[in-house]
Amino acid sequence: MSLTAALNAARSGMNVTSRWAATTSNNIANANNASYSRRDPTIVSGSQGGVTISEITQAVNTSLDSMYRLEVSRTATQDAIATGLSYYTSQLGDTESDVTLLTRLTDLQNSFGLMAASPSDSSLQLAAVGEAQELAQSLNSASNALADARAQALSSAQNDIASVNATLADLAKMNAQLSSGKLSESQQLALGDKITETLDGLAEKIDFTMRTDSKGRMEIFTTGGTALLQGETAQTISFDAQTGVLSAGGVDITPGVTGVRGISEGSLAGQVTLYNDTIPEMSAQLDEVARALIDVFEGADASLGAGEPGLFTDAGAALSDPVAVGLAARIAVNSAVVPDEGGAAWRLRDGMSATVEGESNETTQLNAFIDGMATKTSYDGALGLGDSATLADYMSALISGQNTTRANAETAAETNAASAMTVQETRLGFMGVNVDDELQQLVAIEQAYSANAQVMSTVMSMLDTLLDSF
C-alpha cells in the first residue's frame, strides 16, 4: 500500500469514527425516549480504499409496530366502554348492593304484605306509598344516569374526532416533507421518530392499517379499507348524532355495522358503540322494567276504568301503546295515593279509582297487587333478558347483565393492556437503545480512532523522513 493510500484510509477511518461516535452518542442521549428508534451506521468499503458510512438506518419493525398499535386500540375500546358505564352502574348497584331496583321492589312487596296483615293501618299505607315512590325514583335516576352517560359518550366521541382530524392533518404535512426532497439525513431520521410517535397516538383513537407509496409517503386506511390519508390529502371524519353514522370524507365507517368498511377499535369506536348500541339497549331494558311495573299494577287494579292509570303511571297517565322511549325517566306514582298531592293512601287497599274509602279489613285488592308482583309477565325478548319472568327476576337479570357488560369491558381492557405492554417490551427491545451496547461501541470507536490516528502519525513520520533525505 502506498503512503498516500494509507493516509487516505486513515483519514476516511477518522471520518467514519467521528460520525459513528456522533450517532452512538445520540442513541445514548435518547435511551429513555420511547418514540426514538435506534440509529445504526452502515459502514462499507470506499471506492478509493478506506471506509465510509453509506447510510444511517433506524431500527424499525413494522410488524411489531402494527401489533402494538392494534393492542393499544383494543385496550382503548374497552376502556372507553368501561369508563363510560362506570358511573351509571354505580348508581344501578349490583347483586350485592343494599339499594338497587330489586331491593326497592322487595321493599314494596314487603310493604304490601304488611298491609295485607293489617289493612286498616294508615302508617303502613303511607310507608307503602313511600316505597313505591322510591322505586319510581330509582328508575328515574337510573334512566337519567344513562342519558348522562350517552351525552358524555357523544362529547368524548366529538373530542376524539377533533383529535383524529388534527392528527391526520399533521401526517399529511409530514407526507409533504417526506416527498419534498429537502430534508437532510438527520431531519429525515427525526421525522421518522415523530411519525412513529404520532401513529402510536392515533392508535389510541382508531385502529388502522398503513402502507407506503412510491414516494415514501404514508397511506392510512381504516381496518375495513376506507382511505383516511393518501399522499397529502387527509379525509375529514365526522359524526351525525341523529343517525349515529360516523363517516370519513362522506364514507360510512361506523363501527359494528355490517357491510361498512369502517373502524373496529380505539376509543372513538368505543364511544360510538356506547352511543349507538350499548346505552340505547340498556335504556330500553330499563323502559321495559317500567312498562312491566305499570302494566302489572294496572292489570291487578279492579277499580280502574278504560284509560285510567294504576299505582304507577307514565308521567301521570295510563300506559300507552306503543310506549314512547324514555318511560323509565317518566314513571311516577299515581297522585291519587300521595297525600302531599291531594291523594289518599287508603287507595292502595281499595284501588286507584276508588271514590270512597272501603271496609277497613278488606284485603282483596291488596292480595291482587301482591299476586301481580309475584306472577310472571311478558317482556320483549329482543332486549336479551328473556320474554317471561316475574318483576323481581327481570330486575335481577337487568342488574346482573348490565354490570356484566361493564365488568367484561374492564377485564378486556386489562387483558389487552397487558398484551400491549408485552408487545411494546419486544418492540423496544428491537428499536430501543441498550446503553451497555452503545458504551461498548464507544470503546470500539475509541480503539478505531486511535488506530487510525496511529496510522496517520506513522505515515506523516515516514513522509518527514523521506523529505529529510533530499
pLDDT tens, 307-327?
999 999 999 999 998 999 999
Average pLDDT over residues 13-36: 74
In our burial notation (b when 16+ CB lie closer than 10 A, e otherwise), range 192-204 reads bbebbebbbbbbb
For 337, which DSSP code?
G
The Cα angle at residue 277 between residues 166 and 407, in degrees rounded to 5: 95
* pLDDT bracket for residue 470 (50, 70, 90): low
Q: 290 phi and psi, to 5 degrees?
A: -65, -40
Beta-sheet strands, E only, within 385-464: 388-389
For 277, which DSSP code?
I
* pLDDT bracket for residue 49 (50, 70, 90): low
Are the C-beta atoms of residues 32 and 164 closer than 8 Å to each other?
A: no
Mean pLDDT, the chain, integer: 89
Average pLDDT over residues 193-219: 93
Hey, which residues does 55 pair with through a beta bridge?
42
Are the C-beta atoms of residues 169 and 234 closer than 8 Å to each other?
A: yes
For 356, which DSSP code?
S
Residue 1 has pLDDT above 60, yes or no: no
Average pLDDT over residues 222-243: 96
Predicted confidence at residue 313, as pLDDT, reads 97
Separation CA 48–CA 71 (nearest Å): 50
For 323, which DSSP code?
P
Hey, which residues does 230 pair with through a beta bridge?
219, 233
Nearest alpha carbon to residue 373 among 287, 282, 299:
299
Q: Can you say whether the dihedral through the CA atoms of 418, 423, 429, 433 is positive or negative? A: negative
Predicted confidence at residue 336, as pLDDT, reads 96
pTM: 0.86
